[in-house]
Every structure is written in C-alpha cells, then in structure tokens.
C-alpha cells in the first residue's frame, strides 16, 4: 500500500502543478493538493478516516453537481480535447467532473485504508 500511496501522492501533486494556466487554478491546485497531502499522510502511516470520509463526500458532491454537463457532453459531438468556449461550457465542466471523480476514487481508497487500520488497531 505504501508504494501505491506514494505513486498517488506524486500523481496528484503533478495534477496540481499543471493547473497553473487554468482560469480557476487556485481551486484546482487546492483540490488536487489536498489529495496529494492525504496520500503522503497515508504513505507515512497517518490515517484519518473521518477527515478522509468528509473529503470523499465533498468531492463526490462536486461530481454529482457537474454530472449534467457530462450528460450534455455525451449527447454532443464535441471532444474533451476541444478548446473552451462560452457555447460549450459542458466540455470544461466534463473535464472538471472527471478530475473530481479521479480524486474522489483516490480519497475513497485512502478512506478504505484508514478504516482498515482502525479495525486492525482494535484487535
């Protein structure tokens, strides 16, 4: 698990770094940076099920909030590689939804680990 945690830490840190040219870069650096920080904590054996559970739920709320844009994108002929435009905001929001979904899955993995560590410590 330690190797997977370090890999996820590096991956989400890189996701945060490449947000520098995004119009809402600060938000995405924070969102991806939080996942990287949780990953580093997990790699170092510092698990917090409650905090990770709250973050997972918050990220999933973001996924559900952006889900209508994904449905709009799926019914269009646009590619996710297409540039942003006011007429096709669903493209950018679909990308953001995918990013939040990846982050939520990673956080869910850390939540599972934290719960497992808690259960093992009770034995």
Q: Which residues contact 68 (CB under 8 A, 6 or more apart)?
A: none
CB atoms within 10 A of CB 90: 20
pTM for the full model? Answer: 0.89
Length of the chain (residues): 123
Task: Band the pLDDT of 14: cuts 50, 70, 90.
Answer: very high
Residue 23 has pLDDT above 90, yes or no: no
Candidates 3, 9, 30; CA nearest to 106 is 9
Per-residue pLDDT of 39-94, as tens digits, reads 999 999 999 999 999 999 999 999 999 999 989 888 887 777 767 666 778 888 88
């Amino acid at each position: 698990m330690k190797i997977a945690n370090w890999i996820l830490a590096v991956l989400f840190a890189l996701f945060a770094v490449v947000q520098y040219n995004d119009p809402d870069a600060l938000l995405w650096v924070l969102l991806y940076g939080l996942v990287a920080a949780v990953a580093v904590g997990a790699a170092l054996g510092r698990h917090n099920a409650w905090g990770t559970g709250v973050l997972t739920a918050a990220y999933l709320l973001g996924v559900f909030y952006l889900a209508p844009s994904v449905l709009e994108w799926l019914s269009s002929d646009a590619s996710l590689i297409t540039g942003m435009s006011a007429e096709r905001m669903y493209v950018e929001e679909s990308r953001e939804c995918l990013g939040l979904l990846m982050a939520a899955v990673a956080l869910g993995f850390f939540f599972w680990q934290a719960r497992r560590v808690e259960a093992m410590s009770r034995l």
